[in-house]
Structure 1
């Protein structure tokens, strides 16, 4: 059974795909690493590697999904039946299941902070470090907020592609951009804001290390949500008239723009008040509240920032749950609602230990990591690179070259000038880069 649902428009598909790629990790982590790894030099490398590494992989997933018109697992079964390759789809589904189980915990933290903001408790707090530690250690708030976040995700995904995911992204993504613009305008009007802009965008190649280059390589394909077959599933809902190349370029471009907006929103404010940003949850839940508390109407802009992060978290969560539901439903729309609730509740149950790993389960460790950190390491450092590598070698090995050309030329005309380059990158460059990044993140390089 082929997919019976489709995106209603090209912009709907692009916004949903960009929403999948634009997660809170890209918004809070990339600006920080850019600032501590050579500033504009790192960002320039990130943009270059996104074009040479991330974009070819993204386009590859589009071809797999649109050509088969099937979701992650059945797409590989359709193209390479009775073979090892469907395991690629299974890896993607398992990865998204584990990822959403702890990603929803962070989404819950954001919801909790928004509640504290609306009740006035956030603005009245003097010690944001203590507030954050207390919040994530509380079983009631950690688990309850995680459930609330997943409830929103389930509601949207259960409504389907057109009425759920596409409709939600058409509101959330423009709102995300508008909030960014409001925050950037405020940040750029602060004293010493220009120093923050210069720190973020001015290239300084003398500060780059080999580790920084490797991180830029890894970020280039992780930032586009490739490697877990989410884009295989999303592209399976596309009709045959869409120009895949232009869609991929639009999504990659939006991702780069959002990354730049993140830096322009954060660094002017950070430099204006002389605060050193840190990677991880502390930037959002401790550093930024401390910064905005010191400026007029700061609570308003802090609430806007929290809304921004919530929207980014939700749009990514939609895609994670969608690949799971679509793989189980196998094109049967009548099962979508019940399977959305079933999958969502199972993810919630699996994610409870991660939610409690900063409180009652804080002393439970796996390979010297908390449950939350162990799940993060498994997904980010092992499953995602493996999935990306399998996809990169699957396309040139198992897909007919003429089929690839035909899929990419639909709505695009003559593509010979860049088709050969795309295939060359996918066949030789991307797999080697993924191996290098994988060896780096597991500590061998």
Structure 2
């Protein structure tokens, strides 16, 4: 067993790393197309509301579990609730993170290959057919598996270096770069004729477009976008010193997530409307629609390359957390070094991800429950493991965890009033579980609009 416990070097390092875990495919890829498909500004308003009311309290709950136990996900629950079913919540999170990492890395590989090809002068030209290019990447077994291998290797390289010298070090570089690149893209997007129409769509709520369907979509995306539910934040907060305020840290992470989503919307919707594109394009918005728009503008190749690389940075900082929860859980139980475990975990993730990588080509006709391997993995994690994990965590903190420890961790490092604590605790105990159950039933098709 590894008895030497690492810690974050700085508070800002923890915040940036935690924000990086939350800001990934959700904020840069999924948020814009979900906003486009679910009513624009009204969806964005609900996303902010639910992030503050539900996502933030859940994030604080995970922080309390991790720092309260000073253990990674598996050992934390075993320490706080020994010899009970509650102690298996950590195992649930590790399995969920592993499955998520296996297919998330496939998309990461696509982004990596696409980003490399976007470098001016390499592959993409002014008259490129981006739909065909993306199809060529995803339909090639060699490119998809190579992208998967390279993406997982980058993660293993960072995780093997440790918390302070790996995750924190790279997050403190990649996260500021992400903000800078996003702001550059936003400044360019707002200069187009017709950009104001995109701004109105994104920032002017039309509540007449809301229904039960897109309301629950906003709710689900709110707590999924904060990386809560698979105990990633339990592991991250276990490396945090006792003088840090968990509430302030959680608020900082939540605000960063909202801000990046806001910037992503400002970067994308003005371009979409300026070039008479459809905001409801769905998942293809980032890989096909936007590149075609960038191709029509002066220096479009440069801005496209910047946009794709900032997307790559976001995907990487998010994936670090997934491999870290697996690596830390194994390192805690064995005598092997973190470096050995990280690369071994990376190898297993790569092997597990191959069927998902081949789902868009040679295994396209192979289905389980009428879904490809990739889609099955996505459905299992997004629709079952994440909401159930959120429910388990809320109930654990609300009913099982030592109340004195919860109170102590909530107040450490800050002078927050008992009224705020009681309000947060009631949300965790009653409101959050009710909302999560509603989302879970809806995601399974049991609850309809």
TM-score, with normalisation over the residues of structure 1? 0.97
SS in 2 for 1:126: coil
Task: Report what 2:104 is aligned to.
Answer: 103
Contact 2:394 / 2:433 at 8 angstroms: preserved in 1? yes
Change in CA separation of 1:167 and 1:354 when aligned onto 2, cut-off 3 Å: same
Distance in 2, matches of 1:158 and 1:110, equals 23
1:338–1:344 distance in 2 versus 1, CA, 3 Å:
same
User: Aligned to 1:429, which of 408, 428, 431?
Assistant: 431
Q: Are 1:228 and 2:230 matched, yes or no?
A: yes
Q: 1:441 is matched with which residue?
A: 443
Q: Do the aligned partners of 1:194 and 1:268 also contact (CA within 8 Å) in 2?
A: yes
1:327-379 CA distances to partner (integer Å, 9 max, x unpaired)?
Answer: 00117796100000000000000000111111111110011111111110111
Separation in 1 of the partners of 2:305 and 2:335? 37
Describe the shift of the 1:314–1:414 C-alpha distance in structure 2 as closer, same or farther (beyond 3 A): closer
Partner of 2:203: 201
Report the counterpart of residue 376 of structure 1 in structure 2: 378
C-alpha distance in 1, partners of 2:283/2:214? 21
Q: Tell me, what secondary structure is at the counterpart of 2:98?
A: helix
CA distance in 2, matches of 1:279, 1:101: 26
Q: 1:133 is matched with which residue?
A: 135
Q: What residue number does 1:43 align with?
A: 44
Give yes or no for the alignment of 1:395 onto 2:397. Answer: yes
Distance 2:117 2:393 in 1: 43
**Cα drift, residue 120 of structure 1:** 2.8
Kindly indicate whether the alpha-carbon contact (under 8 Å) linking 2:65 and 2:76 is maintained by their aligned counterparts in 1. yes
For residues 170-209 of structure 1, the aligned pairs below 5 Å read 170-209=172-211
Other-structure match for 2:85: 84
**Deviation of residue 117 (structure 1)?**
2.1
Q: Which 4+ residue blocks in structure 1 deviate beyond 6 angstroms? A: none
Q: Which runs of 5+ in 2 are unaligned?
A: none
The 1:258/1:360 distance shift into structure 2, 3 A limit, reads same
1:252-267 → structure 2 map (5 Å cutoff): 252-267=254-269
- Higher mean C-alpha deviation, range 27-36 or range 151-160: 27-36
Distance 1:166 1:85 in 2: 30
Distance 1:186 1:163, change over 3 A: same
Structure 1: gaps of 5 or more residues: none
CA RMSD of aligned residues (A): 1.4
Maintained 8 Å contact 1:29/1:279:
no
User: Using the alignment, how far apart are the partners of 2:312 and 2:73 within structure 1?
Assistant: 27
What's the secondary structure of 1:290's corresponding residue? helix
Contact residue 89 and residue 389 of structure 2 kept, 8 A = yes
Verify the 8 A CA contact 1:3 1:331 in the aligned structure 2.
Answer: no
CA offset at residue 3 of structure 1?
6.0
Cα distance in 2 between the residues matched to 1:160 and 1:219: 30
Q: Post-superposition shift, 1:279?
A: 5.3
1:50 CA drift (Å): 0.8
Summarize the Cα distance change of 1:281–1:35 in structure 2 as closer, same or farther, 3 Å threshold: closer
Q: After TM superposition, list the pairs within 5 Å mapping 1:231-310 onto structure 2.
A: 231-278=233-280, 280-310=282-312
How many residues in Structure 1 have an aligned counterpart in Structure 2?
A: 445
SS at match of 1:189: coil
